[in-house]
């Protein structure tokens, strides 16, 4: 329960569709331990409930679908050093995987209505849905490197499957994109204008052609409301440059050296170099290897890799320092270990990718 005594998850079932709302609007619907458990429980119940034919997930309020996880709680856990944060990620990744597999396992499609801020943990919920609807207000990002983390919640998988080196670019920088770029990158499937939300819901409530099957029936309505975003995509004109400077480079230092040679998009290159210079050098190199490795990995293996990485990342400590600098003390002067890319050695990155568990004992072995 939140401070206003309202539930953090609201469920409303109408016309065989379970409407699940993340209900922490003052916190931009940031996901909590209790919300993860509640979502997992509801999804589990609906697996065998013949009255439920589809699920739609959205965020309360007008600003956000879900802005991520409770990073302040992660900071406190990291400071204690008791490893309690790992239980949060274990449950979160299990929920993310359940959503990814829900249609295959149950025949019931999920729709993610992501009109608003969708970042971090919100992306973990949204990207597993086969229908991902962005809107006029969508602001999408995987901003983990900003706080000395890496793109998790399945980010390994879905970023590595973006066009060319786009996913690596977005993952390293943590850049925010809007609806048109989300569609281009494959991180959304449809755009529906914000002002059409009421009519879209009414159409869902009035739908009678379930005999077509849940997926075709829903897709028919989605296609009726879908249209092009107002803004133009910014990523396609940069695709060649992104591929030239980010793909196939030995390390992030090599990416920066390549960006320094850019002449056509020189302002973009300079801005990109500046942003990379603010991130944790160690976690930039971890993120680069993570996304590149994930391109040939299965979804379960990606989640297991991320669980391994999370364990090593909290042992390393840059994430605790990053949260301190950005959100606790707000001095925006993180003391990264080490402070420069030139000091990051391959042998210091290798341990991040060595699992602390055997395959038989891995906490996500059953995915």
Q: How many CA atoms lie within 13 A of 13 on its CB side?
A: 11
Cα separation, 293 vs 291, in Å, equals 5
Name the H helices within 186-238.
Answer: 197-206, 214-225
Q: Which residues of 255-264 are buried (b: 16+ CB within 10 A; e: fewer)?
A: bbebbeebee
Whether 352 contacts 292, CB under 8 Å: no
Q: Which of 8, 92, 115, 144 is catalytic?
A: 144
Query: What is the token pair recorded at 89?
Result: 């990620």
**Residues paired with 263 in a beta bridge:** none
- Cα dist. 308→89, 315, 360 in Å? 11, 11, 14
Angle 124-326-116 from CA coordinates, rounded to 5°: 40
87 a catalytic residue: no
Cα separation, 162 vs 183, in Å, equals 10
Whether 123 contacts 156, CB under 8 Å: no
Name the H helices within 14-165.
Answer: 33-46, 71-80, 85-106, 121-126, 155-159
Q: Which of 59, 68, 69, 124 is catalytic?
A: 69
Whether 45 contacts 82, CB under 8 Å: no
Query: What is the token pair recorded at 271?
Result: 């801005």
144 a catalytic residue: yes
83 a catalytic residue: no
Q: Which of 121, 148, 174, 317 is catalytic?
A: 121
DSSP string, 319-352: HHHHHIIIIIS-------SSSSGGG--HHHHGGG
3-state secondary structure of 27: helix
Residues labelled as active-site residues: 69, 121, 144, 152
């Amino acid at each position: 329960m939140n401070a206003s005594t309202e539930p953090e998850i609201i469920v409303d079932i109408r016309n065989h569709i379970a409407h699940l709302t993340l209900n922490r609007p003052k916190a931009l619907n940031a996901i909590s331990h209790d919300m993860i458990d509640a979502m997992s429980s509801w999804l589990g119940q609906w697996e065998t409930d013949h009255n439920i034919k589809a699920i739609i997930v959205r965020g309360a309020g007008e600003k956000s679908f879900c802005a991520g996880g409770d990073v302040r709680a992660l900071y406190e856990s990291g400071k204690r050093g008791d490893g309690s944060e790992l239980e949060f990620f274990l449950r979160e990744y299990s929920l993310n995987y359940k959503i990814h597999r829900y249609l295959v396992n149950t025949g019931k499609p999920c729709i993610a209505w992501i009109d608003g801020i969708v970042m971090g943990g919100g992306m973990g919920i949204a990207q597993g849905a086969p229908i991902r609807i962005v809107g006029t207000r969508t602001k999408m990002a995987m901003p983990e490197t900003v706080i000395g983390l890496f793109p998790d919640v399945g980010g390994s998988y879905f970023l590595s499957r973006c066009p060319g080196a786009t996913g690596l670019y977005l993952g390293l920088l943590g850049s925010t994109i809007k609806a048109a770029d989300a569609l281009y990158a494959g991180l959304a499937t449809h755009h529906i204008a914000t002002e059409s939300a009421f009519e879209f819901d009414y159409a869902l409530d009035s739908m009678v052609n379930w005999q077509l099957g849940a997926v075709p029936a829903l897709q028919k309505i989605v296609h009726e409301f879908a249209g092009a975003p107002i803004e133009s995509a910014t990523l396609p004109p940069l695709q060649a440059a992104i591929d030239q400077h980010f793909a196939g480079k030995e390390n992030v230092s090599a990416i920066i050296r390549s960006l320094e040679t850019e002449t056509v998009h020189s302002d973009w290159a300079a801005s990109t170099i500046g942003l990379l210079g603010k991130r944790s050098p160690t976690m930039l190199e971890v993120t680069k290897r993570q996304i590149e490795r994930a391109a040939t990995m299965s979804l379960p293996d990606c989640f297991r890799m991320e669980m391994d990485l999370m364990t090593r990342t909290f042992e390393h400590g840059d994430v605790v320092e990053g949260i301190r600098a950005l959100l606790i003390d707000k001095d925006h002067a993180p003391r990264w270990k080490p402070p420069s890319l030139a000091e990051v050695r391959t042998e210091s990155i290798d341990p991040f990718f060595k699992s602390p568990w055997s395959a038989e004992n891995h906490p996500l072995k059953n995915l």
